[in-house]
Homo-oligomer: A and B are copies of this chain.
């Protein structure tokens, strides 16, 4: 392994793809006749297939959760802080699987895929997928990989919602559900932010009702705005103050509309770099999956009743400065679980990084996460 790759990394990884040709009926009642899921794995599956862990990704991430695709890569996968040898999700002990979700734009079937029925990209014709749809498709991937039961299903944010849905949907197929920086459903304010992001994309003249591929363009302005707005909600007010304050890029006010404050420069950069690597139709789908997630709705709004089938043990993390999914939202999940006498550990981690904290190597978080995962590893040993 080259010197440039840290020793506690999973190293160079290569994504794999599985094709599924059993039709999948979605919550929207439409049917995907066939589809691909791209995924990465880290670590080795043990002989009794008991050490597999599923990582569920959030809105804009993908299957590349850890390690490097090439030695030249500037950055590792999105959750490299938590996945690797000796890390909380220890690849010396666990076989880690991370798929790109259906509707994604990084290799799994989604809006950018050619629709076999038309010979053209799906675009806006790709069905709206839900968290439950993802869980069902992930279960089929587990089947193909010979994994009857996950030692744990783990995710942050929208990924945490999938970890919760797994416990409801396939109670016998996971030992632990680890739900980080999530909520049992979006608030009106959460939906409102998603709606502004969607309107930014859909009102971009280059959107062409989602058929922008055919026009050899993309709603870059809209997607950039959506991403800039997203970033505000991922950071806390405090972390923005620490990171940027009111610092001026040129040290003085210029009385113009070019970048003046450092925070403006950061947001524009984040927005610009995102549009080069993400598909706008996928972004729209992911926000809808978030909006629709509400497992309690199947039980007249009673989350504890909706959680009745679960058998997993739960670990729930929240972060004090997260205002996108504040600790109170995580506590709703914890309360519903304890109301049903389900085993649940809950940690509210002191952190100034906001929602993004779940991706960060915050010592208290890493320590608790590692301790819990060690217990999971001992159970299956």
Question: Which residues of chain A have a CB within 8 Å of any CB of chain B?
Answer: 27-28, 127-128, 185-189, 191-193, 195-196, 198-200, 202-205, 221, 224-225, 228-229, 231-232, 235, 237, 240-241, 243-246, 253, 255-257, 260-264, 267-268, 271, 284, 288, 291-292, 294, 323
**7 sample A-B contacts, Cβ–Cβ < 8 Å, listed by A number:** A27-B255, A188-B241, A188-B243, A192-B228, A195-B267, A196-B225, A198-B257
How far in angstroms is the closest Cβ of chain B from A71?
36
Contact A261 B188, CB 8 Å, known A199-B228, A203-B225, A228-B196: yes
Q: Is the CB of B267 within 8 A of A284?
A: no
Contact B261 A291 (CB under 8 A): yes
Specify which of B192, B246, B264, B291 is in contact with A195 (CB 8 Å cutoff). B264
Task: For the complex, give the distance between the alpha carbons of A251 and B235 in Å.
Answer: 33
Q: Are B203 and A221 in contact (CB under 8 A)?
A: yes
CA distance A232 to B191 in the complex (A): 10
A209 to nearest B CB, angstroms? Answer: 10
Q: Give Cα A193 to B263, complex, Å.
A: 10
Task: For the complex of A and B, list the 10 residue pairs with the smallest distance between their C-beta atoms, beginning with the closest.
Answer: A28-B255, A188-B240, A203-B221, A128-B255, A188-B244, A188-B263, A195-B264, A189-B237, A189-B240, A192-B232
Q: Which residues of B contact A256 (CB under 8 A)?
A: 128
Q: How far is the CA of A283 from the CA of B246 in the complex (A)?
A: 21
Give the residues in chain B near A237, CB-CB below 8 Å: 187-189
Copies in the complex: 2
* Contact of B28 with A240 in the complex, beta carbons under 8 Å: no
A246-B186, A255-B128, A261-B191 known; A225 and B200 CB under 8 Å? yes
Contact A224 B245 (CB under 8 A): no
**Residue in chain B with minimal CB distance to A242:** B188
Chain B residue with the shortest CB-CB distance to A265: B195
With both chains docked as a complex, state the minimum distance between the C-beta of A161 and any C-beta of chain B, in angstroms.
14
In whole angstroms, what is the CA distance A263 to B193 when docked? 10
Interchain nearest-CB distance for A4 vs B (Å): 34
Which listed residue, B192, B231, B257, touches A202 by the CB 8 Å rule?
A: B257
Q: Please, how many angstroms separate the alpha-carbon atoms of A50 and B235 in the complex?
A: 49
* Complex contacts, A204 vs chain B, CB 8 Å: 221
Whether B192 lies near A267 (C-beta < 8 A) is yes
| Cα(A191)–Cα(B268), bound, Å | 13
CB-based contact A268/B128 at 8 Å: no
A256: nearest chain-B partner, CB-CB = B128
Interchain CA distance A187-B188 in the complex, whole Å: 24
- New contact pairs (5) apart from A191-B261, A192-B240, CB-CB < 8 Å: A187-B246, A188-B243, A189-B241, A192-B231, A202-B257
> Given A128-B256, A199-B268, A221-B203, is A191 in contact with B292 using a C-beta cutoff of 8 Å?
no
Say whether A195 contacts B284, CB under 8 Å: no
- A284 to B188, alpha carbons, bound, how many Å? 27
